[in-house]
Amino acid sequence: MCPTASTNTLPGKAALLWDESFLWGLMACKALQDARLPFDLIRSEDIREGRLGEYRLLFVPGGWASNKIKALGDGGVAAIRDFVHGGGRYLGFCGGAGLATRDGIGLLPVRRKPTRERVPSFSGRVRLSLSGHPIWRNVAEPVFHAWWPSQFIAEDPGLQVLAAYGEALPDAFSSDVNVGDTEQFGSWAELEALYQINLDPRRMHDDPVVVEGAFGEGRVILSLIHFDTPDDERGTAVLRSLWEYLLGAPGAHAEAGSAHGHPAPECIGQEEAAARKAQADRLGSLVRDLEASVDGLISLGMRNFLWFRRNALLFQWRRGVRGLEYCTLFMMTKEIAELVRRGSHTWDIDESACITDRAEKVKGILLPFVGKAERLLVLERHALQSGHITYEKCDDSIIKEMRGELFSTSKSHGGMFKELIDAIDALLFSLLKSCG
């Protein structure tokens, strides 16, 4: 049974923590909108300022947990712990799940397996072994998506394992290796010796993948499965069940468009209308430049066989390049362009000017980044033909120098990319709020 929420949480309201989620935050927003589930976007500063008291559920999407902790700061971490301890609900997917483990802010006594002991680069569909829990009631076949997840160590008897890993489906990948083809024609042992990492998805069997537990009076569910994967009907069904279970009341679905609708048209004069149109045209031209630049970068990667599309939001890339970063850049830029096309003529001059300034900042960082990234990708493509390289290891001194400048040596990315994606993130967040 779920404990009764304390008076500092309101039934039926959910907040999605946007910071340091990037592509995963965008994916989560789209999934919740498609499932017609109500939510508000909030940032770390909102949490530090006490905004969690307005909500019953905090949902944290994927992304690097360590970067989320930095964004939250000590005050934000303490606020989340107080919120859940006092009766709030916490739902974390992938990196959002990692945030709540013992390795993060400690909401549940769960640890993440060290990289050397887990399969660090699995992605795609996997069959699960499910417990008898209400969130599974609308699931006929327990097949869902994992995207480069961690693996849990859950030894505390107070934890409830809601699902465990079963078999990986043939269309899944481990690193850039197709599971079905390898199991039919190849050898995991030989590939692991070549790649120098664990690849065999059978190493994941029976590991907990969705867990639930208590923190004070609150309830916490952590999932390494992405129930927010695009076009996943089973995932959508589980999302709805999670909202109902954690918010404590059935019928929590929003009317279509109510979470992020369009503002009603207002009556304005001809002069104001002309000024708005001129500003919207300027912004539209600027965003088209951004989109064209990123499109060129992604096309270069495709014609050099460095990546291909897995679904509406995710790529599969060859080992040796930072595919997730380029995918994130592409998808967030596409969403920015779509939101500008949809909403720019409804904004007032001040709002449009603010968004345009953010877009100008993005362009100033993006164009130099793309020029250098295109050269790096071609160099990496050639290096793949002559030696063993990973996204972080390469003997070529020019590649190493360029990687350091563009991404730093951090696994969670830095360098020019971090500056660029933070600027894009700020622009996208402002557009989502303006269109909501």
d(CA 339, CA 341): 5
pLDDT at 11: 57
Domains of the chain, with CATH numbers?
14-171+203-247 (3.40.50.880), 270-434 (no CATH)
pLDDT at 163: 98
| Higher per-residue pLDDT: 10 or 436 | 436
Within 10 angstroms of residue 205's Cβ, the number of other Cβ atoms is 14
Q: Is the pLDDT of residue 12 over 80?
A: no
The pLDDT tens digits of the residues spanning 313-367 come to 999 999 999 999 999 999 999 999 999 998 877 788 888 889 999 999 999 999 9
Burial label, 111 (beta-carbon count in 10 A; 0-12, 13-18, 19+): middle
Element (H, E) at 247: helix 233-247
d(CA 56, CA 8): 8
pLDDT mean across residues, the chain: 91
The pLDDT tens digits of the residues spanning 371-408 come to 999 999 999 999 999 877 888 889 999 999 999 999 99
pLDDT at 332: 98
CA atoms within 13 Å, Cβ hemisphere of 209? 28
Q: Which amino acid is at 341?
A: R
d(CA 111, CA 118): 12
d(CA 379, CA 381): 5
The pLDDT tens digits of the residues spanning 273-322 come to 777 778 788 899 999 999 999 999 999 999 999 999 999 999 999 999 99
**Across-strand partners of 147?**
123
For residues 45-61, give the mean pLDDT. Answer: 97
Q: Are 290 and 336 in contact (CB under 8 A)?
A: yes
pLDDT at 142: 98
